[in-house]
């Protein structure tokens, strides 16, 4: 990957419309929607998970977006940009695994899991392309 000098390089739009913020990227929108859905879902986790799975899944899902924002802010510095994208991908993988734990511990239904997991997988696929 060459040094990112042009905001259009990260455009997620097929027409290459100028991207002004990480918030304009599809991967950001997928990750943000997932983080908000996880927040609502995790409100129903049992109290004994408050300082374990609940905080972990909330933190990792939000961290995907936060690392994308940091990557965007440092996009002119290739090493930092790639590092933050890698961090974002790692947090996304952690979120995906936490969703599996929530399902297997019966804190979420199989239907809820099937509804949320595609967002994690789509975010991961987008990040893998970077």
Is residue 122 situated within a structural domain? yes
Tokens, residue 121: 């997988």
Mean pLDDT for the stretch of residues 93-121: 95
pTM of the model: 0.82
Q: Is residue 56 situated within a structural domain?
A: yes
Residue 17 covered by a domain: no
Cβ-proximal residues to 130 (8 Å cutoff; 6+ apart), any chain: 1, 82, 85
The residue to which tokens 């690392």 are assigned = 67
40 in any annotated domain: yes
Q: At 28, which CATH number? A: 1.20.1440.60
> Does any domain span residue 14?
no
The total of structural domains in the chain comes to 1
**Host domain of residue 74:** 22-129
| 32-74 residue pLDDT tens | 999 999 999 999 999 999 999 999 999 999 999 999 999 999 9
> Is 99 contained in some domain?
yes
């Amino acid at each position: 990957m060459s040094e990112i000098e042009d905001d259009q390089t990260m455009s997620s739009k097929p027409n290459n419309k100028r991207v002004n913020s990480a918030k304009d990227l599809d991967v950001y929108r997928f990750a943000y929607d997932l983080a908000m859905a996880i927040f609502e879902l995790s409100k129903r986790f049992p109290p004994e998970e408050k300082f374990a799975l609940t905080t972990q899944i909330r933190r990792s899902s939000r961290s995907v977006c936060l690392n994308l924002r940091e990557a965007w802010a440092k996009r002119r510095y290739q090493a930092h940009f790639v590092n933050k994208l890698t961090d974002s991908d790692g947090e996304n993988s952690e979120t995906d695994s936490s969703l599996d734990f929530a399902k297997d511990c019966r804190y979420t239904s199989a239907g809820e899991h099937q509804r949320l997991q595609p967002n994690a997988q789509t975010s991961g696929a987008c990040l893998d392309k970077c």
